[in-house]
Chain A
Amino acid sequence: MSSSSTSIMDNLFQRSLEDLIKGFRLQLLGESNFISRALEEIRREIKSTDLSTKSTALHKLSYLAALHGVDMSWAAFHAVEVVSSSRFQHKRIGYQAITQSFNDQTSVMLLITNQVRKDLNSANEYEVSLALECLSRIGTHDLARDLTPEVFTLLGSGKSFVKKKAIGVVLRVFEKYHDAVNVCFKRLVENLESSNPQILSAVVGVFCELATKDPQSCLPLAPEFYKVLVDSRNNWVLIKVLKIFAKLASIEPRLGKKVAEPICEHMRRTVAKSLVFECVRTVVSSLSDNEAAVKLAVAKIREFLVEDDPNLKYLGLNALSIVAPKHLWAVLENKEVIVKAMSDEDPNVKLEALHLLMEMVNEDNVSEISRILMNYALKSDPLFCNEIIFFVLSACSRNAYEIIVDFDWYVYLLGEMARIPHCQRGEEIEHQLIDIGMRVRDARPQLVRVSWALLIDPALLGNLFLHPILSAAAWVSGEYVEFSKNPYETVEALLQPRTGLLPPSIRAVYIHSAFKVLVFCLGSYFSSQETTSSSLAQESSSGSSSMNAFTHGSILNLVNVIERDLGPLSETHDVEVQERAKNVLGFIGMIKQEIAEKLNLQYNETESSRVTAFMEDVFSEEFGPVSATAQEKACVPDGLELKENLGDLEEICGEFLKPVESESVSYTDKISFSVSKLRIRDQQETSSSSSPPHEASSLLAEHRKRHGMYYLTSQKEDPDSNSTHSDYPLANELANEISQDPFNPKRKPNQSKPRPVVVKLDDGDESRITPQAKKNIQTAKDDESLSRAIQSALLVKNKGKEKDRYEGNPNSGQQEKEESSRIENHQNSENKKKKKKKKKNGESSKHKSQRRNEVASASEQVLIPDFLL
């Protein structure tokens, strides 16, 4: 008694969903309080034995779940109870709750099978519709298997309201239970000839999905789709059929020829932009070999581009980027519009335009386009600016810097990117600076110059995003120090006090680079001592080394500077920095006394020269690019069990693994490449490339002025030190000022200059199967059984048809036989249709017969031979 009395009280005073919504709008408790109150109420009400109370509670709960993120999985059983109510309203609430909250893991899923079956068999079409909707959303393998007979029956329903939904549900049923294909496929295909636009639209939609998953299995139905393509005037249907043909044509090129004409016809005829766009997209993506169709499509794209509607403009650009790889002329034709679109207010349009600009890049215009883009990057918001930088970086580095001829220019450009105020692509730039250093020997002098300019730019040190670039710059200046104009200044830049702003890992690179520079200077000094002592006569010829002017004083000075700057770091907390600093200090400890005492250095038997020679050897081995497949090439030693017990490794030390990996690629992976020492400076090369060093030295002068107390008196007077601006340059100004320079037409790539050798590894740079592609293969495998099911269903269908045909129409000619078996589906109406066809053929003779031949030839290809037997 108590339970029934509470339930009537609940029922009378229960808040309806509308009350709840009203309450929400008036509540003063705060949203989460209100929700938890309401939930309490619902939890009580939903236990009621009265289905009205229960269903109202469930309704409120599904509202809260959908719009306020309240979990409703706990109410799964109550939903099953509500759905079993005989009242339509309850049923609807129940089904809504089920579709919304059930998934494969829901344990009470098993309990709904019978209810759904009952409702599928209901005389009330709206109840059937609820059950179908439910099945299409949450259908599992079991549900699909158990309810296939009902779905099959409904496919034959006379009510289009039910039939269209039954067609829709087939997709889910096929996907979950492949054997259903054998049962339902024939009925599904029959609907392709339906005159009811609702039904046709539904069935074409289903085939569009099937063709997306597995075009091969839908290929035999091409004639049916073709008929729809030609006959239908419903834009929704046509769009879906076009999508199907886009998929089919990609695996059966001959189909492309055949559908091109009707597609062009639609393109010319229709005023619906959606259909025009779909035609265009189909042509440019799948029929791109058909010149005439592509021309028409590009003309339509042009119409889109000049429209004021931003949607059409965006889609036009979108279509252009599809057409670009095969028909670049279409993009070039619209160059002005694209460049204009770069300053559009719509981020989508800008992005598409950027994409297209990068498509146009080739070795002749790369500098011009980059100039345009860098100017846009300076003006743009951070997001788009980085998008631009990213596009330039990836376009230029594509296929081992394929389009770059003038690496001096490109390296300069990389340096400039660092000075764009919003630049956040430090890691990518870092990678390219190092990569070019390793791959392109001729670019190294310029790399060193640019790196030096970056190192002494005081504005960069404070920007977190640019630290990777500085790391690369430091590495380059150490590794290729032989191209450095003034190693002393390099050391000063590497050890300047503001490097304290850098993270320790990068600081360590700085210190190590300073070490390399020091070793190089000492080595040069000793060897110049040798030359002067042993053969004075040759002094004039070895001008390159004398230019360094490594005097005893300057070397001593250098050693002192390094010792002074690194001294404090030997007690720093970071082990890496400390280690590096101590290495250098230890080395200095070994050599310093001899140098300071100015022992007779003429003899290369001194301790210090031996140590130096040893260190030079250590640093002399060149780094080369590492093939991406290098790891795979290394054979696994016997007894080494990989993939065993290493599963936990990532978990245990995942934090440490990553940085180690990334660093090892750039620095430690040595490939014994060529061990030739690049000791002798190529003076001509150094002096031939012009302006940047001036600028850089003026920057250093600025830096000196500001941090004068940290500098020792320099060896040479800086020529520009007085002529430059007196103010501390802001990063922005710098960027504006300098960015003009590299794009100066005078510096445009000189075509007569041969492209330097770029080291390319045979297979490592090739694009390999990406994880995405692998995943696709995986999903393809999953779909395989579905496609097999469809193919076998088609086999059965066609065999049946053939039999019919022989019985009903034994005298028709061979070619006609073939065609009719392809084009016609309903055998009963075959004769009638054939007459019609013949009439048509008579009307437009040549063209049609040609088409027929094409049908025949296409059908041969399309068909799996079995069908013809």
Chain B
Amino acid sequence: MIKAVMMLNTQGKPRLAKFYDYMPVEKQQELIRGVFSVLCSRPENVSNFLEIDSLFGPDSRLVYKHYATLYFVLVFDGSENELAMLDLIQVLVETLDKCFSNVCELDIVFNYSKMHAVVDEIVFGGQVLETSSAEVIKAVEEISKLEAASNSISLVPKSVSGWRGR
């Protein structure tokens, strides 16, 4: 199972954080800080895996990848394969790259909702359900379309008609 997906920038600011087990927000923030403090102390060109039992409980592993100003982080347990998780980060990044054509940190900052759509298609309740970026993009585009469609109706909000009707 995947326990958490995080994207942090190199200053330690979280850009996306999803925890698949419920925990209070203070705990989430503590974990984000904890993960960052471990990541930022790691030299370049070392392995991408960390044992992180101290933060996430027994049998917790973390894999991260550093792209430009961002860390992509997955926290998972013994029923995932480390290298497969590394591949999954690759899938995620490729998907984002296709979504935003050459993704950068700002895309991630300003497209909070879309980011969640992407991650939710790949990881479902802690399980990896999709590893093909084409499938993910297809679903995400469909979701965007639906949102836009529901939005266009909202140009005349109910409250306006209610107000007019008075």
Residues of chain A whose beta carbon lies under 8 Å from any beta carbon of chain B: 1, 4-5, 7-8, 11, 17-18, 21-22, 25, 49-53, 59, 63, 65-72, 87-90, 92, 96, 102-104, 124, 126, 129, 132-133, 136-138, 161, 164-165, 168-169, 171-172, 198, 201-202, 205-206, 208-209, 212, 235-236, 239-240, 243, 273-274, 277-278, 310-311, 313-315, 345-349, 772
New A-B pairs, 17, CB < 8 Å, besides A67-B15, A274-B83: A8-B159, A18-B110, A21-B110, A66-B16, A88-B143, A88-B149, A89-B150, A133-B120, A136-B124, A168-B127, A168-B129, A201-B131, A202-B127, A236-B84, A314-B49, A345-B45, A349-B46
* Shortest beta-carbon distance from A203 to chain B in Å: 11
Among the listed A68, A96, A164, A310, which residue makes an inter-chain contact with B47, where contact means beta carbons less than 8 Å apart?
A310
Could you tell me if B28 and A69 are in contact, using CB atoms closer than 8 angstroms? yes
Task: Name 12 interchain pairs, CB-CB below 8 A, sorted by A.
Answer: A1-B163, A7-B159, A8-B157, A49-B159, A66-B16, A67-B13, A103-B22, A165-B129, A172-B125, A201-B128, A274-B82, A310-B45
Point out the residues of chain A lying under 8 angstroms from B113, CB to CB.
Answer: 17, 59, 92
Could you tell me if B79 and A209 are in contact, using CB atoms closer than 8 angstroms? yes
* Shortest beta-carbon distance from B121 to chain A in Å: 9
Number of A-B contacts defined by CB within 8 Å: 176
Among the listed B29, B47, B127, B135, which residue makes an inter-chain contact with A314, where contact means beta carbons less than 8 Å apart?
B47
Q: Known: A18-B110, A50-B158. Contact between A315 and B82, CB under 8 A?
A: yes
Could you tell me if A201 and B81 are in contact, using CB atoms closer than 8 angstroms? no
Distance, CA A311 to CA B86, complexed state (A) = 10
Which residue on A lies nearest to B41, using beta carbons? A347
Distance, CA A52 to CA B147, complexed state (A) = 12
Among the listed A66, A243, A346, which residue makes an inter-chain contact with B17, where contact means beta carbons less than 8 Å apart?
A66
Distance, CA A67 to CA B108, complexed state (A) = 13
Distance, CA A868 to CA B163, complexed state (A) = 72
Does B87 touch A at the CB level, under 8 Å? yes
In the A-B complex, the 8 residue pairs with the closest CB atoms? A136-B125, A274-B83, A346-B46, A69-B29, A87-B150, A310-B47, A314-B47, A103-B22
Could you tell me if A21 and B25 are in contact, using CB atoms closer than 8 angstroms? no
Give the interface SS of chain A, mostly helix, strand, loop or mixed: helix
Could you tell me if B110 and A137 are in contact, using CB atoms closer than 8 angstroms? no
Point out the residues of chain B lying under 8 angstroms from A310, CB to CB.
Answer: 45-48
Does B34 touch A at the CB level, under 8 Å? no
Among the listed A274, A346, A772, which residue makes an inter-chain contact with B87, where contact means beta carbons less than 8 Å apart?
A274
* Shortest beta-carbon distance from B19 to chain A in Å: 9
Which residue on A lies nearest to B46, using beta carbons? A346
Does B142 touch A at the CB level, under 8 Å? yes
Point out the residues of chain A lying under 8 angstroms from B56, CB to CB.
Answer: none
Distance, CA A206 to CA B84, complexed state (A) = 17
Which residue on B lies nearest to A383, using beta carbons? B41
Distance, CA A201 to CA B131, complexed state (A) = 10
Could you tell me if B146 and A168 are in contact, using CB atoms closer than 8 angstroms? no
* Shortest beta-carbon distance from A524 to chain B in Å: 53
Q: Known: A1-B166, A18-B110, A96-B116. Contact between A88 and B79, CB under 8 A?
A: no
Could you tell me if B128 and A236 are in contact, using CB atoms closer than 8 angstroms? yes
Among the listed A88, A198, A311, which residue makes an inter-chain contact with B130, where contact means beta carbons less than 8 Å apart?
A198
Q: Known: A4-B163, A89-B151, A208-B79. Contact between A348 and B128, CB under 8 A?
A: no
Could you tell me if B25 and A168 are in contact, using CB atoms closer than 8 angstroms? no
Point out the residues of chain B lying under 8 angstroms from A206, CB to CB.
Answer: 127
Distance, CA A51 to CA B86, complexed state (A) = 41
Q: Known: A69-B29, A172-B125. Contact between A52 and B154, CB under 8 A?
A: yes
Q: Which of B65-88 contact A (CB under 8 A)?
A: 78-79, 81-84, 86-87
Distance, CA A172 to CA B124, complexed state (A) = 11
Does B1 touch A at the CB level, under 8 Å? yes
Point out the residues of chain A lying under 8 angstroms from B99, CB to CB.
Answer: none
Q: Which of the listed residues A66, A103, A240, A314 has the most CB atoms from chain B within 10 Å of its own CB? A: A66
Distance, CA A278 to CA B78, complexed state (A) = 11
Q: Which of B144-166 contact A (CB under 8 A)?
A: 146-147, 149-151, 153-154, 157-160, 162-163, 166
Could you tell me if A50 and B157 are in contact, using CB atoms closer than 8 angstroms? yes
Could you tell me if A348 and B50 are in contact, using CB atoms closer than 8 angstroms? yes
* Shortest beta-carbon distance from A529 to chain B in Å: 62
Q: Which of B113-140 contact A (CB under 8 A)?
A: 113, 116, 120, 124-131, 135, 139
Does B112 touch A at the CB level, under 8 Å? yes
Does B109 touch A at the CB level, under 8 Å? yes
* Shortest beta-carbon distance from A105 to chain B in Å: 9
* Shortest beta-carbon distance from A470 to chain B in Å: 30
Could you tell me if A88 and B147 are in contact, using CB atoms closer than 8 angstroms? yes
Point out the residues of chain A lying under 8 angstroms from B43, CB to CB.
Answer: 345-346
Distance, CA A59 to CA B28, complexed state (A) = 18
Could you tell me if A209 and B1 are in contact, using CB atoms closer than 8 angstroms? yes
Could you tell me if A165 and B124 are in contact, using CB atoms closer than 8 angstroms? yes
Could you tell me if A88 and B146 are in contact, using CB atoms closer than 8 angstroms? yes
Among the listed A72, A87, A273, A313, which residue makes an inter-chain contact with B153, where contact means beta carbons less than 8 Å apart?
A87
